[in-house]
C-alpha cells in the first residue's frame, strides 16, 4: 500500500492525463467539447470561394436530382432553391465533430433564418431520424431536420461527416468543407452577407 501511495505521488500528472484520455475515448460529448475548443480558434474553418462552375457542368450532375424531405415529409428540391443562398450541413447525432460544430450552426441559424434569401438544410444521416430529432430536442437546437431522398451527388456529399456546403443564388458551390468548423464567426457572416447581396 505504501508503494502505491508513493507511485501516485510521483505520477499524479500521468494518472490525471490517462483518466482524461479515457474520458475522451468513451464520451462523445467530451470529444465534441474538445473539438469545439479547437474549432473556435478558426484554424479549421474554410472560407467562401469564388464561383467556379455551374452545378450542371460539374461531372454532368444535375442538382435537380438531389432532393430532401423535412419532418412533415414535404420534399425539397435543390433546383427549386435557385435565387437563394443555401447552407447545407450533413450530420449525425452519434458523430462527435458534428456535435462539436452544432452550437455554431444554431447561432448562425438564429442570425439568418428569418432572411427570405437564406435557406438552411441540416441533413440528418442517422439510421433512424428519431435519433436526430431527440438530439436536437435534448440540446434545444431549432434548426430544421431534413433527410435525404435517394442518392446525393458526390460533389455535394462524399460520405464524410460533418460536411458543409454553401450554394450561392445561382446554385453554384461556393463552400465545401469536410470536418468540424465554427460557423458563428463574424468573418463567416460577412462572407454570407456578400452572397446575399
pLDDT at 19 over 80: no
List the one residue out of 83, 108, 114, 90 whose CA is nearest residue 190: 108
If you average pLDDT over residues 128-145, what whole number do you get? 96
Q: Return the DSSP state at 56.
A: G
pLDDT at 117 over 70: yes
Residue bearing the bigger pLDDT, 64 or 31:
31
User: How many Å apart are CA 117 and CA 120, to the nearest integer?
Assistant: 10
If you average pLDDT over residues 18-39, what whole number do you get? 70
Least confident span in 9-13, 153-157, 173-177: 9-13
pLDDT at 60 over 70: no
pTM listed for this prediction: 0.76
The pLDDT confidence band at residue 167, using thresholds 50, 70 and 90, is: very high
- Do 52 and 172 form a contact (C-beta atoms < 8 A)? yes
Q: Which pairs count as long-range contacts for 126-131, CB under 8 Å and 24+ apart, including other chains?
A: 126/92, 126/93, 126/94, 131/93, 131/94
CA distances from 141 to 46, 66, 92 (A): 23, 25, 14
Amino acid at each position: 500500500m505504501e508503494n502505491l501511495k508513493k507511485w501516485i505521488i510521483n505520477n499524479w500528472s500521468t494518472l490525471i492525463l490517462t483518466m482524461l484520455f479515457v474520458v475522451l475515448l468513451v464520451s462523445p460529448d467530451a470529444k465534441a467539447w474538445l473539438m469545439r475548443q479547437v474549432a473556435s480558434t478558426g484554424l479549421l474553418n474554410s472560407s467562401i470561394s469564388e464561383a467556379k462552375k455551374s452545378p450542371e457542368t460539374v461531372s454532368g450532375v444535375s442538382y435537380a436530382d438531389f432532393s430532401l424531405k423535412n419532418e412533415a415529409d414535404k420534399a425539397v428540391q435543390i433546383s427549386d432553391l435557385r435565387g437563394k443562398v443555401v447552407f447545407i450541413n450533413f450530420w449525425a447525432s452519434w458523430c462527435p465533430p458534428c456535435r462539436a460544430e452544432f452550437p455554431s450552426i444554431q447561432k448562425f441559424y438564429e442570425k439568418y433564418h428569418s432572411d427570405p434569401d437564406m435557406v438552411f438544410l441540416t441533413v440528418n444521416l442517422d439510421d433512424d431520424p428519431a435519433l436526430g430529432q431527440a438530439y436536437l430536442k435534448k440540446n434545444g437546437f431549432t434548426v430544421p431536420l431534413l433527410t435525404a431522398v435517394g442518392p446525393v451527388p458526390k460533389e455535394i456529399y462524399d460520405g464524410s461527416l460533418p460536411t458543409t456546403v454553401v450554394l450561392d443564388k445561382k446554385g453554384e458551390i461556393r463552400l465545401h468543407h469536410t470536418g468540424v468548423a465554427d460557423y458563428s464567426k463574424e468573418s463567416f457572416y460577412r462572407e454570407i452577407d456578400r452572397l446575399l447581396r
